Amino acid sequence: MEKLVALIPLFPLLGFLYITFFGKNQSKGTAGAIATALVALSFVLAILVFTTQLHGAHATFVKVLDWIHVGSFQVDLSFVVDPLSSLYILFITGVGSLIHLYSIGYMHDDEGFHRFMSYLNLFVFFMLLLVLGDNLLLLFVGWEGVGVCSFMLIGFWYKDHANNDAAKKAFVMNRVGDLGLILGMSLIFVQCGSLNYNDLMIGGSAIGHLGKWATLGAVLLFIGAMGKSAQFPLHTWLPDAMAGPTPVSALIHAATMVTAGIYLVARFSDLFTISEGASQLVTWAGVITAVMGASIALTQNDIKKVLAYSTVSQLGFMFAALGMGAYTIAVFHVVTHAFFKALLFLGSGSVIHAMGGEQDIRRMGGLKSHMPTTYWTFLVGTIAIAGIFPFAGFFSKDQILAHAMENNTVVFALLMLAAAGTAFYMFRMFYLTFHGEFRGTHEQEHHLHESPKTMTIPLVVLAIASTVGGFMGFPHAIGHAMHIEHALDHFLSGSIELTHSHMSVATEIALALISMAIAGMMILFAYNIYIKKATPVLEDAEINSPLHRLLWKKYGMDELYDNLFRKPIDALSAGLYHWVEQKMLLGMVDGSGDAAKGIGRILQPLHNGQIVTYLLAIIVGLIALIFAL
Amino acid sequence: MIALSIFLIPLLTSFLLFNSKTGNAAKTALTSLILMLLVAIGGRVATAYGLTGTLSFPLISSIGFSFSLLWDGPAFLMVLLTIIAGLGIVYFSQDKEIHSSNRFYGWIMMMLSAMIGAFLAGDALLFYLCYEWALIPIFFLILKWGHGEHLSKVTMRFFLYTLFGSLFMMLSLLYVHQSMATPSFDMSAMWAAGKALTAGEQGWVFAGLFIAFAVKMPVFPFHSWQPSTYDHAPIQGTMLLAAIMLKMATFGLVRWAIPMTAVGIAENGHWAILLSVISVVYASFMALTQKRLKMMIAYSSVAHVGMISAGILSNTDQGTVGGLFEMFSHGILAVAMFVVYAIIEKRYGHDRMQEMGGIRTAAPAFAFLTFILVMCNVALPFTSGFVGEFLLLQSLAHYSLVYTAIAGLSVILGAAYMLRGFQAMFLGGNTHAFEALSRNEKNILAIAVLLVIVLGVYPHSLLQLIQNVY
Amino acid sequence: MEILHNVTINHYLGLSTVLFALGVFGMLYRKNAIIIFMCVELMLNAVNLALVSFSKMHGDTDGQIFVFFIMVVAAAEVAVGLAILMMLYRNRHTTDTDTLNDLKG
């Protein structure tokens, strides 16, 4: 059964090739249906593969092709099926096929529809390679591949250079992380002699040969993860990536690609466990990102930007969990987050669709009556991310908080703060969008409508998943008391070492209640401001208070990087080109040529062309020679 | 015999072309190249069944100089590259207006012959002769068919600089040669004699060899002849230089420098690796500031070659094999990138990237193919650029992780300048009338892209082939 | 024939020296390329004379063999040299070496 895994990435690849080369003749409906069906087919296979892992997990390797064999360097195109990868392929293909379906409706009027569907297929292919590869190099193939797809999809509307700039920024910043990953791979290969998971961790323990290099290796891998998963300080590309069409934001920049970093760290949990320093770094990067993302999201008015910063912040939560050794919990949060964040993005897409491209929540309001399905599903997503029982986000987030409480009080306090912020900004956005008076133009109001079925069906499915998805990871202590197993933990234990929490039932319940109470307070707070008092949101020019402005300007990170890296590098290369390249090096070469010419010119008068002079010189020389001898 | 015929076919073709009318020059060259391809592949297969492809007969026995050609994996790989790149160059230019085309193609064929001689040479003196001989055809190609002001100055600079550089190689080879009891330029004798030297001597021998190769590759700070030469040369000349000629130098590292002076490199060759690494970063910075496409490609080529040099010099299996693989990949990529340049330059009349835009709207297939080539240039996995570059970085990491990190900066900078250029030329809304690609142009790009991807997804066979002798 | 016995090798060498000196001075002072050419011939013959004299004195034929070589070379030189001068005259209508200074640096 596991052999089928080789087909899972194949289907989306076929979809990409088919639509790219033969798609022009197909109608939009057919092309969309093919793309969606192929991913759905992969999903079915993924379920089959997943079920093989349910009963007694064991890692299986499926080799497809010899790849790079050079001396001791042996890497194949080969897949691994184990709990971690099978879980990942399950939600990648699952959420992926829903978003494909959604895209048929969302992108229907776009002239680049075929191109869009083929890119999405290609993305799914690379994402599946990333998680299925049985070695770091194949992971890197997927890693870079999704980066390129992300580049193509962010800059999908390529006629506007703002989109292209965002795409380029995403790619280049990701490459900063990729360099870390390359170096990490190099270090691991040099020290351990293999890049295969089987040798490193699953079958053997070669990763231990890193010895004193373990921390460096872990940090380098984490730098890769930072780039891909938008962790501080490499997070600034993700909000800009919202320039792409909304399904892209949902699939790539919320549900799947950005969680590749978590996959990487979780996959190398053996390495991070032995390196205390790297784990600390992961925790703090996560915490800083979580707080920073949440605080910026408080002030953003673009519906997608709010969600983008929310994603940044949630990814921070996941990394904080990873750093504290709660690998399974982080993966759990990845899965629940994939559900509710994809739901929220698709919901926002539905809103943008109805608003005719408008993304500013200050121009929305009162959409509830116009688009009920979107409203209710969006509400589910909002509650889920805010962390209210029994929705999915509650379970995963609460377990991260529980781990933090056990490990480090400061981390716990900061994460709690970020969680509170999350509840507030999500409901702020929710109220501004769906409640109150409509604040857009008449034309827009006239145009408001519920989205077509292809778009609402994925919303409903994801809403259901966001509601019940959390039960796969019931909190330990309470679960133990109620004889409910933490299904996910148990399942993942085939791939990842578990770290058990030692919390008592009472503490766990208390924590859950406290965090829900805080979330509830924040929701009421938002309700009070935006519904009851109906405080209007400040226009951009009116933002005066320094703190507000700082947050609204995203801590000035973009400008900082511009001044710290882009401009100096451009100036440096221009300066090097002018001074070193043109003046110095070329000057030296031409200078040596000129010097030869100059010496010639000094001696030139001797050569006057009069044969007599030469003869005289010969004879005088001869006579001189005779006398000298 | 196989090696000899592959060496002779282009040479005879060039003589034939010099003595013929201009009519069917391109066709003749193309036919000859296809013949060479068949002989090369057929010969490779025949070798697998036991036929000897090598050849050696003494020419000047008093100094141990013999005309000896090898036919092993690396030699075959480089010959294959020469033929494929040559095919690309001739195929691309067959429908172009070229004055005195018989002599033009004659020089090209002679150049190919010289380079094949250098790749196949199993004798140090023969290698040196072919290495120098290749300069003559390209000199005339640039001088007669080049363009731009200061053409003669640029050509002379190129010629003298590279000729001067090679003298150091001759000194090194002669030093090794005179250290033998019975002098011989034969490869195995040279290797053995080189190994017998002390580490200090090897360091000096290596220094001479490396300076010669560094000028040709080129490596910082010996590269200053290159950008202006690429700029002034006819596009076919640029392709010859970038795709094949500089590979003589990197190949020389693999074939001569490493086997003779491995100890010397390890103990006294640190500076060469450092220069190569600096070259990678420096050239990337240079590429970043270029406004013109041709110059950007030229500098990006310097960056790639620096990587090849650094990887090879770190002297591991991955470095050698990765270096050879990257030479092959870069050769194909260089031809393809300059074809892209030629296509754009022909339609715009200039190559200032910032003054273009929106080509993608007018020519989506062209944009698609170019994008894949750009991705190969930034070493994206599943393109041939990645396999080579990763192996090279891997090899460098055995030497020093810090150097790997510095050279790896090109991963970031490469993406920055390549995408910046791609965006400026292909994306954006403003459109300029863009004549559709001719069938030849489309074919050559499509084949290059196919090669690049096939080699990226399934490099196994080629890698095994390269390792045939190692 | 008596007088010939009184002629010693020194006389021959003296004549040879005088001829050679005449050739040298002629070359330096004359402007006409043909005269210069003749002066060169004169110098060659001066040398020939010296060689023959030594040959006679030592009684072996080596010197005379040299002389034949020189004569052959001189003949060839005349053929080439005069041809060059012919061409020169056709192009420039002069053989004055003062005006023939194209190689001036």
Q: What is the pLDDT of residue A289?
A: 92
- What percentage of chain C carries pLDDT values higher than 90? 45
Mean pLDDT of B249-264: 92
- The mean per-residue pLDDT over the stretch A423-451 comes to 84
The pLDDT value recorded for residue A162 is: 86
Q: Tokens for A408?
A: 């480090």
* pLDDT at residue number A356: 82
* pLDDT the model gives residue A4: 81
Q: How far apart are CA A371 and CA A393, in angstroms?
A: 24
Instruction: Find the CATH number of the domain harbouring C69.
Output: 1.10.287.3510
- Among the listed residues C70, B366, A239, A376, the one whose alpha carbon sits nearest the alpha carbon of residue C62: C70
Q: Rounded mean pLDDT of A24-32?
A: 84
Q: Which pLDDT score, from 0 to 100, does residue B467 have? A: 83
CB contacts of A140 in chain B (<8 Å) are 381
Residues constituting chain A = 629
Could you tell me the pLDDT band of residue B303, with boundaries at 50, 70 and 90?
Answer: very high
Residues with Cβ within 8 Å of A224's Cβ and at least 6 positions away in sequence, in order, are A143, A177, A178, A180, A181, A184, A261, A264
β-partners of residue B57 are B67
* Separation of first and last alpha carbons in chain A: 101
The Cα B358–Cα B412 span in angstroms is: 25
CA distance B407 to B390: 11
Partners of residue C98 in chain A, C-beta under 8 Å: 610
CA distance A126 to A133: 10
**C77-C78-C83-C89 Cα dihedral, nearest 10 degrees:** 120
pLDDT for the residue A480: 62
CA distance C5 to chain A (A): 33
Choose among B289, B380, B428: nearest Cβ to A573.
B289
State yes or no: pLDDT of A501 exceeds 80: no
pLDDT digits (tens, 9 = 90+) for B395-449: 999 998 999 999 999 889 999 999 999 998 988 877 778 888 888 899 999 999 9
Contacts of A227 (CB under 8 A, 6+ apart): A173, A174, A175, A176, A177, A178, A180, A181, A234, A261
pLDDT bucket at A500, cuts 50 / 70 / 90: low
Report the residue from B228, B317, B382 with minimal CB separation from A70.
Answer: B317
CB C44 within 8 A of CB C70: yes
Q: Do A615 and C27 touch (CB under 8 A)?
A: yes
Backbone angles phi, psi at A298, to 5 degrees: -60, -30
Residue A435 has pLDDT above 70, yes or no: yes
Tens digit of each residue's pLDDT (9 = 90 or more) over A521-574: 888 888 888 888 877 777 777 777 888 788 777 787 888 888 888 888 888 888
Query: Which chain B residue has the Cα nearest residue A183?
Result: B405
Residue B89: the pLDDT is 93
Task: State how far the Cα of A173 lies from the Cα of A177, in Å rounded to an integer.
Answer: 7
Q: Of all residues in chain C, what percent carry a pLDDT higher than 70? A: 94
pLDDT at A477: 59
On whether the CB atoms of residues A491 and A53 are closer than 8 A, the answer is yes
Is residue A205 pLDDT above 70, yes or no? yes
The per-residue pLDDT for A466 is 85
Closest Cβ–Cβ partner in A172, A179, A186 for B397: A186
Residue B157 and residue A593: Cβ atoms within 8 Å?
yes
Q: Using 50, 70 and 90 to split pLDDT, how confident is the model at A57?
A: low
Q: Count of CB atoms within 10 A of residue A171's CB? A: 25
C91 touches chain A (CB under 8 A): no
**Residue of A137, A182, A570 lying closest to B288 (CB–CB):** A570
Give the model's pLDDT for residue A70: 87
Residue A241: pLDDT band with limits 50, 70, 90: confident
Confidence of residue A467 (pLDDT cuts 50, 70, 90): confident
**How high is the mean pLDDT of chain A?**
85
Tell me the nearest-neighbour CA distance from C21 into chain A, angstroms.
11
In a domain, C98, yes or no: no
- Domain chopping of chain B, boundaries: 282-470
Distance from CA of A614 to the nearest CA of C (A): 9
Cβ pair B428:A164 closer than 8 A:
yes
Tokens (6 digits) for A440: 């857009």
Cβ atoms within 10 Å of A147's Cβ, excluding its own: 26
- Which pLDDT score is estimated for A149? 92
Output the pLDDT for position B307.
Answer: 93
Token readout for A468 is: 């019940």
pLDDT digits (tens, 9 = 90+) for C64-96: 999 999 999 999 988 999 999 999 889 888 888
| C-alpha pair distances (Å), A461 with each of A93, A467, C91 | 14, 10, 101
Q: C80 — contact with chain A (CB < 8 Å)?
A: no
Distance CA B366, CA A228 (A): 30
State the pLDDT at residue B470: 42
Hey, where are the domains in chain A?
A: 328-536, 563-628
A612 part of contact set with chain C, CB < 8 Å: yes
- The total number of structural domains in chain C stands at 1
Classify A193 in phi/psi space as left (phi over 0), alpha (psi -120 to 50) or beta: left
A66: closest CA of chain B, how far (Å): 6
Q: What is the pLDDT averaged over residues A254-278?
A: 88
- In the complex, which subunits touch B with 3 or more CB pairs below 8 angstroms? A
Domain that holds residue C21: 2-92
| pLDDT average, residue stretch B174-188 | 90
Average pLDDT over residues A93-101: 90
Distance CA B48, CA B204 (A): 39
pLDDT at A474 over 70: no
How far apart, in Å, are the Cα atoms of A27 and each of A21, A107, A118, A613, B439?
Answer: 14, 13, 14, 92, 28
Question: Which residues are CB-contacts of C36 (< 8 A; sequence separation ≥ 6)?
Answer: A611, C26, C27, C30, C97
Question: Higher-confidence residue: A314 or A502?
Answer: A314
H-helix or E-strand spanning residue B60: strand B55-60
Q: To probe the interface with C, which of A597, A602, A615, A626 has the most C CB atoms within 10 Å?
A: A615
Distance CA B113, CA B109 (A): 6
Q: Mean per-residue pLDDT for B310-327?
A: 91
What average pLDDT does the segment B45-61 reach?
82
What's the pLDDT at A625? 93
Top pLDDT among A478 and B132 is at: B132
Please list, in sequence order, all residues whose beta carbon lies within 8 angstroms of the beta carbon of residue A629, skipping any fewer than 6 positions away. Answer: none
Which pair of tokens denotes residue C31?
Answer: 């402007």
B64 backbone φψ class: left, alpha, beta (φ>0; ψ -120 to 50): left
> Model-level pTM?
0.88
Q: Residues B382, B457: contact at Cβ < 8 Å?
A: yes
* Any domain includes C37: yes
pLDDT greater than 70 at residue B182: yes
In this predicted model, which residue has the larger pLDDT, A313 or A354? A313
d(CA A179, CA A459): 37
Closest CA to A348 of A299, A302, A297: A302
List CB contacts (< 8 A) between B285 and chain A.
569, 572-573, 576-577
What's the pLDDT score for residue A483?
Answer: 56
Looking at beta carbons, which pairs linking C78-87 to residues 24 or more positions away fall under 8 Å? C78/C41, C81/C37, C82/C37, C85/C33, C85/C34, C85/C37
